[in-house]
Amino acid sequence: MQKKRIESKLLGESYVELTHDSGLKILVMEKPDYTGAFAMFGANYGSVDTCFRLQGAKEFTKVPEGIAHYLEHKLFESEDLDAFERFAKTGASANAFTSFDRTCYLFQCSDRFEENLEILLDFVKSPYFTAQTVQKEQGIIGQEIRMYQDAPDWQVLFNLLRALYHNNPVRIDIAGTIESIAQITAELLYDCYHTFYNHSNMVLAVAGGVTVEQVLRVADKVLKKEAPVQFEQIIPGEPKEVRQKLIEETLSVDLPKFALGFKQSHSTPVRTAKECVMFDIALDIIAGKVTPLYHELLSEGLINTSFSGEYFTGRGFAVPMFTGESADAFKVKEAILSKIKSLKENGVTDEEFDISRKRLYGLEIRAFNEVDDLANDLVECSFKNETLFDRIECYRTLTKQEVEAAIKDGFDEENCSLSLIR
């Protein structure tokens, strides 16, 4: 068993990374002062992974959109009690989610940690699909898809992605469509499970009042050794230009919602910690909550406190974006583009850079007090082959010139789209 401790002397924090005899990577951040624990078991597999080829296969396998999310739902079932019923008996709070590039199963508990961890590892590694149960789930997920089609916050985001991208599967709803999920079979679910739910493509992260020894006791009991599965994934190529500059939809909302995003070229499939920090600071300098622009828009009634900036990124996509509510999103867009133009022409002041860097650095450090954030970040960092402390170091070492370059290269007025929910 390979084992090492990764630490930050600056923060006085550390965690253990080990490769279990089963082939699974396990990350444990011990927090002796905490009474509870949070565990997350993740697969490096999400909604964008609709085309893959196993090593040795001649052809790529194309699977229906939404199958990763469908698989997440089905894993909670078994021939006996489903996983939620098992967790209910221990008092743990359990859940799961599928994103564009991850599927994660999790629980939080205040006691009986080892019993809960055993349930988590057992049900994720014990798939049970039949034609009858798969067909039954189509109606349930179909209702979920229709529900999200009426959810303004969800639709304003996905409409933006559909406006930005021509081919990238990030433009498809994570749950798929009514038509695509109708094509899902038990056989396809098993194919995807055995490809992506191999220990070599998964990670277990635990944070809180537990020890490495506790985690290993359960892992030794439940996990069996698995030979690594090698496969190739394809993300379709994208033209530089956006698909459309404006996309609108009418839904029931108190105030119109908007999302303004900038399409980026993709030289690498995954954004590094440095790139993410660089764009987080750039977004904060442009229209963060302490900037003059934010307060001008707020005082003029063009935005409210729901306004925010985000570097929305994952495997094969990256979009710096601003979202919020506004009676006149076009004026908000004009003001943001004007600020970006000014920063490109005049540069970022030392004061602007220092304020944003220090503010975000403080928020980053504060997150180390939340065990759920820690477990989630450990999983994300593992899949990107980074450590939990890389972002902290980037905030310390990043230069103003690098942020200026990000603003010049990453915020192209000709390649931005506006999504509106009226």
8 SS3 class = strand
Between CA 164 and CA 171, with CA 165 as vertex, the angle to 5 degrees is 105
Q: At what angle do helices 186-196 and 67-75 cross, to 10 degrees?
A: 90
Find tokens 């967790």 and name the residue. Answer: 87
Q: Which residues contact 70 (CB under 8 A, 6 or more apart)?
A: 137, 141, 175, 176, 181, 184, 189
Amino acid code (one letter) for 209: G
Distances (CA, A) of 342 to 255, 281, 317: 29, 16, 27
Maximum separation of any 2 CA atoms in the chain, in Å: 66
Q: Which residues contact 382 (CB under 8 A, 6 or more apart)?
A: 25, 27, 203, 205
Are the beta carbons of 319 and 163 closer than 8 angstroms?
no
Reply yes or no on whether 144 is catalytic.
Answer: no
Are the beta carbons of 241 and 143 closer than 8 angstroms?
no
Quick count: other Cβ atoms within 10 Å of Cβ 227?
Answer: 9
Catalytic residue among 17, 65, 72, 77: 72
Select from 236, 265, 252, 303 the least CA-distant residue to 48: 236
Are the beta carbons of 373 and 205 closer than 8 angstroms?
no
- Over its C-alpha atoms, the chain yields an Rg (Å, rounded) of 22
Answer left, alpha or beta for residue 286, where phi above 0 means left and psi between -120 and 50 means alpha. Answer: alpha
The dihedral over CA atoms of 145, 148, 150, 154, expressed in degrees to the nearest 10, equals -150
Quick count: other Cβ atoms within 10 Å of Cβ 168?
Answer: 19
Active site residues: 72
